[in-house]
C-alpha cells in the first residue's frame, strides 16, 4: 500500500502525529503490534500540560477531556510535618489537567478511524527499510499475510522497546542515560483522593506521591528498591506505609487495590532523533523519570514539531524544518530531563547520601515553598515550557 507518512506505533505520539497530519491534508497509515483493546486499556500517567490540553481542544479531540477531566491549579509539597501549596495559576497563569493517558488514546483512535485513517492493529514482524532514501518502507505481517507500506516519511512512535530506533544504523546515534537506584511501587485503588491536587511527599523512609485518576480512582506511589516484588506488599502494608509517609497531615481514605506494579526509574536520550526519512518521537527517543510528569507531554511536543515540518515539506518541497527536527526537539527534551532530574533529586533518598544531604534537601524544599522566585521556576516547568 502507498501513503505519504507511515507511522509505527498507536500510542499518544503516533496517534497525535496522524491527527495533526490529517488536519494539514496529509495521509498516513499506522501500524501497531498490540490490539486496539490493549492500547485503550493500558493505564499510564495522565497529567497534561496546559499547552497540550489546549492543543487537544483546538484540534477537535478534547471534548470528552473537558467534560470528564480534573483541572488543577497547583500541587502540594509535603515535608517537615506540613503541606505547602504551589499555586501554578497564581504564579504563571496556567494550570494542568488530570485525564488518563488511556482516555486520550481512546479519543484519538476514535477520531482517526472516524476520519478514515487506516490503523492496522496486531501486526507482526515489523521492519523498516530504505530509511536513508526518499522512499522508505515498512514491512510487516497482518492477518497472516505479508504486507508493505511505501511512504515518503516514517514516524517512529513505537516506544522504548520498539523497532524504530534499532533500525538506525550502528554508529549514528549517541545514547545518554542514567539508571536510578530505586523504583516506584505504584498502586491503583478504588478510593477517594486524599486531596484535590497532587501531593509530593518527602519522608525519611523515601518519596511518595499521591495522585488521582478520577473522583473515585487514585494512583499512589512509594519509593522502593528497583527490583522490588510488588506481591511482597499486602494491601494493608501499602496503605500503612503511604499513611506513614504522609506524616499525619491528612487522613488517608482507603479502598480496594486493583493494581500493584513497580515502575523503573530511568533517564534516556538518543541524539539525533532522526536518520534519513525516519523521525523518532516520544519514548522511542527519550525517557524521563515520572517525577516531573513529562512523558506524554514530550511525545506531543515532538509530533507537533514533526507535523509542522512534514507539512512544510509537502507545501514547498523544502526540507529545512525536517533537517532541524532533532535539534528543535532536543532543546526542549533536555530542559524536561533537567527538571525531571531536579524533582527526582529533590524528593528521593539516594543510597550514597549522608545526613548532610538530607538537611540540604529539606533546606531546598523550604526554599521552594517560601520563595516566590523558586516556586515560579517550578511552576513554569511543571505546567509546560513553550513548544517551538
Q: Within a domain: residue 388?
A: no
- pLDDT tens digit sequence for 136-181: 999 999 999 999 999 999 999 999 999 999 999 999 999 999 999 9
* DSSP code per residue over 275-325: ETTEEE-GGGTEE--GGG--HHHHHHHHHHHHHHHHHHHHHH---HHHHTH
Residues 251 and 366 in one domain: yes
Q: Is 314 a catalytic residue?
A: no
β-strands 199-201, 74-79: how paired?
parallel
- SS3 for 169? coil
Q: Which of 99, 289, 290, 348 is catalytic?
A: 290
Residues 110 and 251 in one domain: no
Q: Which of 294, 308, 325, 348 is catalytic?
A: 294
Q: Is 49 exposed, middle or buried (0-12, 13-18, 19+ CB in 10 A)?
A: buried
Q: Within a domain: residue 191?
A: yes
Residues 302 and 200 in one domain: no
Q: Within a domain: residue 84?
A: no
Q: Is 94 a catalytic residue?
A: no
Residues 237 and 357 in one domain: yes
Q: Is 294 a catalytic residue?
A: yes
pLDDT of res. 343 = 97
Domain at 16, CATH number: 3.50.50.60
Domain count of the chain?
Answer: 2
Residues 314 and 278 in one domain: yes
**% pLDDT > 90, the chain:** 91
pLDDT of res. 216 = 83
Residues 49 and 61 in one domain: yes
Q: Is 22 a catalytic residue?
A: no
Q: Within a domain: residue 211?
A: yes
Residues 228 and 303 in one domain: no
Residues 208 and 335 in one domain: no
**Domain extent at residue 200:** 181-265+351-383
Q: Within a domain: residue 80?
A: no
Q: Within a domain: residue 339?
A: yes
- pLDDT tens digit sequence for 15-74: 999 999 999 999 999 999 999 999 998 877 789 999 999 999 999 999 999 999 999 999
**What's CA 189's distance to the chain center, in Å?**
21
- pLDDT tens digit sequence for 79-136: 998 999 999 999 999 999 999 899 999 999 999 999 999 999 999 999 999 999 999 9
Domain at 225, CATH number: 3.30.9.10
- SS3 for 248? coil
Residues 226 and 256 in one domain: yes
Q: Within a domain: residue 91?
A: no
Residues 15 and 114 in one domain: yes
Q: Which of 22, 72, 203, 260 is catalytic?
A: 72
Q: Within a domain: residue 78?
A: no
Q: Which of 22, 94, 99, 200 is catalytic?
A: 200
Residues 318 and 374 in one domain: no
Residues 163 and 190 in one domain: no
**What's CA 273's distance to the chain center, in Å?**
17
Closest CA to 388 of 292, 272, 286, 302: 302
Q: Is 220 a catalytic residue?
A: no
Amino acid at each position: 500500500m502507498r501513503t505519504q507518512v507511515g507511522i509505527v506505533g498507536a500510542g499518544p505520539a503516533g496517534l497525535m502525529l496522524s491527527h495533526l497530519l490529517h488536519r494539514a491534508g496529509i495521509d498516513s497509515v499506522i501500524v501497531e503490534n498490540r490490539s486496539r483493546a490493549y492500547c485503550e486499556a493500558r493505564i499510564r500517567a495522565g497529567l497534561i500540560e496546559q499547552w497540550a490540553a489546549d492543543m487537544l481542544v483546538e484540534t477537535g479531540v478534547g471534548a470528552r477531556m473537558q467534560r470528564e477531566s480534573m483541572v488543577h491549579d497547583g500541587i502540594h509539597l509535603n515535608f517537615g510535618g506540613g503541606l505547602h501549596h504551589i499555586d501554578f495559576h497564581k504564579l504563571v497563569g496556567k494550570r494542568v489537567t488530570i485525564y488518563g493517558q488511556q482516555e486520550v488514546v481512546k479519543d484519538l483512535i476514535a477520531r482517526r478511524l472516524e476520519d478514515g485513517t487506516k490503523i492496522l492493529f496486531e501486526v507482526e514482524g515489523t521492519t523498516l527499510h530504505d530509511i536513508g532514501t526518499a522512499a522508505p518502507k515498512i514491512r510487516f505481517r497482518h492477518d497472516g499475510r505479508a504486507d508493505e507500506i511505501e511512504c515518503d516519511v516514517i514516524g517512529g512512535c513505537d516506544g522504548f522497546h520498539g523497532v524504530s530506533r534499532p533500525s538506525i544504523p550502528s554508529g549514528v546515534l549517541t545514547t545518554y542515560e542514567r539508571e536510578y537506584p530505586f523504583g516506584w511501587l505504584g498502586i491503583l485503588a478504588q478510593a477517594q483522593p486524599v486531596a484535590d491536587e497532587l501531593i509530593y511527599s518527602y519522608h525519611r523512609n523515601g518519596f511518595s506521591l499521591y495522585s488521582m485518576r478520577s473522583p473515585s480512582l487514585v494512583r499512589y506511589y512509594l519509593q522502593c528498591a528497583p527490583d522490588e516484588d510488588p506481591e511482597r506488599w499486602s494491601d494493608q502494608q501499602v496503605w500503612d506505609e503511604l499513611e506513614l509517609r504522609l506524616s499525619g497531615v491528612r487522613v488517608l481514605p482507603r479502598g480496594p487495590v486493583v493494581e500493584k506494579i513497580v515502575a523503573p526509574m530511568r533517564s534516556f536520550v538518543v541524539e539525533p532523533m532522526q536518520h534519513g526519512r525516519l523521525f523518532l518521537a516520544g519514548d522511542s527517543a527519550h525517557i524521563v523519570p515520572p517525577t516531573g510528569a513529562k512523558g506524554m507531554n514530550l511525545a506531543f511536543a515532538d509530533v507537533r514539531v514533526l507535523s509542522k515540518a512534514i507539512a512544510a515539506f509537502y507545501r514547498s518541497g523544502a526540507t529545512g524544518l525536517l533537517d532541524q527536527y532533532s535539534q528543535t526537539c532536543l532543546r526542549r527534551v533536555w530542559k524536561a530531563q533537567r527538571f525531571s532530574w531536579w524533582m527526582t533529586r529533590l524528593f528521593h533518598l539516594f543510597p550514597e547520601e549522608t545526613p548532610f544531604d538530607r538537611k540540604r534537601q529539606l533546606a531546598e524544599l523550604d526554599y521552594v515553598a517560601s520563595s516566590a522566585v523558586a516556586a515560579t521556576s517550578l511552576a513554569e516547568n511543571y505546567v509546560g515550557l513553550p513548544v517551538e
